[in-house]
Amino acid sequence: MDRTDAPARLPGVLLILADNLGFGEPGCYGGGMLRGAPTPRIDALAAQGLRLTNFNVESDCVPTRSALMTGRHPIRTGCVQSVPAGLPQGLLPWEVTLGQLFQQRGYATACFGKWHLGDRAGRHPHERGFDEWYGIPRTTNESLFTSTPGFDSAAVPMPMVMSGRAGQPARDEHVYDLEARRRIDGELTDRAIDFIGRQARAARPFFAYVPLTQLHYPTLPHPEFAGRTRAGEFADSMVELDHRVGQMVDAIDALGLARDTLVIFASDNGPEFRRPWRGTAGPWSGTYHTAMEGALRVPCIFRWPGRIPEGGVSDALVHVTDLYATLAAIVGAPVPADRPIDGLDQRALLADPAAASAREGFVYYIKNELRAAKWRDWKLHFVWESEPNAGPVHLETPWLFNVLRDPKEESDINSTGEGWVRGPIRRMVEAFQQSLREHPPIPPGAPDDFRPQGGRADR
């Protein structure tokens, strides 16, 4: 791809993605000490850059990661959730990933952590835009398998920590059991720091994507953090997550790369709902797997000294797909023109926290079902599910909420003067659904040779 609007010197990019980190966990989002787990490093990162308070993601791990990697809503890519065992999981090779965009601009790219966008040859990270990869292909709860009575490794694949380098087959490194679960984020952090150091010595721009495993269940801390807070393993794990973020930021600073590196810290979805690992969304209601604000809104912080003002806070509406478009614009990589890209370029907001968002709203699907639509300060629920597995209830008349005045979504305001917003929300929904008719979604579990062609999704 040709260069378009890149800076004179291509910046390094470190993108840290926490797993199941609720809005209300870090101190800078109202948690920290109040949760028994101080987060000084994440708080300092926010003070050094921009903290978003209206950053929105998808319903759970797979959909958000697909939206991040493609700039497309998961209803389009078929990554609506994990597909049944035996079918191809994750992104179709036809999709152009964020890693591929960086590679096309000459970046060294690496993924250290939880992928969850393909667990077979051709769909691993080192085959989808990353020069190197170390981590898990699926998810952290698989670490429970081997200690569960009756587990049969002949019936299902043994959960493994894996690695890969571009042009080579993936390798099994070791079993992903409970002991490995406790230690993996330390390994991922060490490998990310080593990768950044190697690129610094080579004077090569880097993209380090580090999807850590904390706070996904089982939420168990590294042995060095066990008992650290005296508030339990969940709090200990939060303190570990904070420490890992600090280690990576310290490495960038020690290498003298701070002003040449964009650091992004975010979460993939709202908090876990299962106990004893349940997290908190702070002022919002709900957990992941719902359309509540607690599922959509998560922490998101940007630091880029000299390019992003310190101490900025913005409540402007931003969606996870916007990271794709924004990062592409920052490094001068044109996004694919042969498919709908839902992400919008938010560089103006990064430069000025008082700037307006490039978007007014977005649609929200869970699996293949439209659940809600968010527009400015309002949200319209078509299906109501306040807790996972508590519904869903399909509403005869959608419920309307002003999430600025009613953050817990307790009072339907359809009958008030604010009912006028149903008009623009309906138009936004219809425009999106028309685009689905023009570009039919890729079905979940589609094989590698599936190709959307000529406005139709054909095999």
Residue with tokens 């990064």: 350
Crossing angle between the packed helical segments 233-254 and 178-202, to the nearest 10 degrees: 10
First to last CA, the chain: 27
Cα(394)–Cα(84) distance, rounded to whole angstroms? 25
Q: How many residues in the chain?
A: 459
For residue 15, the cross-strand partners are: 209, 264
User: In the 8-state DSSP scheme, what is residue 308?
Assistant: S
Structure tokens given for 196 = 């950044």
Cα(67)–Cα(269) distance, rounded to whole angstroms? 12
β-pairing, 50-52 vs 312-314, is parallel
For residue 14, the cross-strand partners are: 208, 263
**Residues 372-404 as b or e (16 or more Cβ within 10 Å = b):** bbbbbbbbbbbbbbbebeeebeeeeebbbbbbe
At 133 the three-state DSSP class reads strand
User: The dihedral of CA 146, 445, 385, 64: what is its sign?
Assistant: positive
Please tell me whether the peptide bond between 336 and the residue prior to it is cis, using omega within 30 degrees of 0.
no
Which strands form 261-267's sheet, in the order they lie side by side? 171-175, 160-165, 132-136, 108-114, 206-211, 12-18, 261-267, 300-303, 50-52, 312-314
Residue 152: partners with Cβ closer than 8 Å, 6 or more residues away: none
Q: Give 197: exposed, middle or buried? Use CB within 10 Å, 0-12, 13-18, 19+.
A: middle
Cα(223)–Cα(356) distance, rounded to whole angstroms? 44
Instruction: Report CA-CA distances (Å) from 148 to 20, 142, 156, 184, 450.
Output: 23, 10, 13, 20, 37
The residues annotated as belonging to the active site are: 61, 116
Residue type, 174: H
For residue 261, the cross-strand partners are: 12
Cα(272)–Cα(375) distance, rounded to whole angstroms? 26
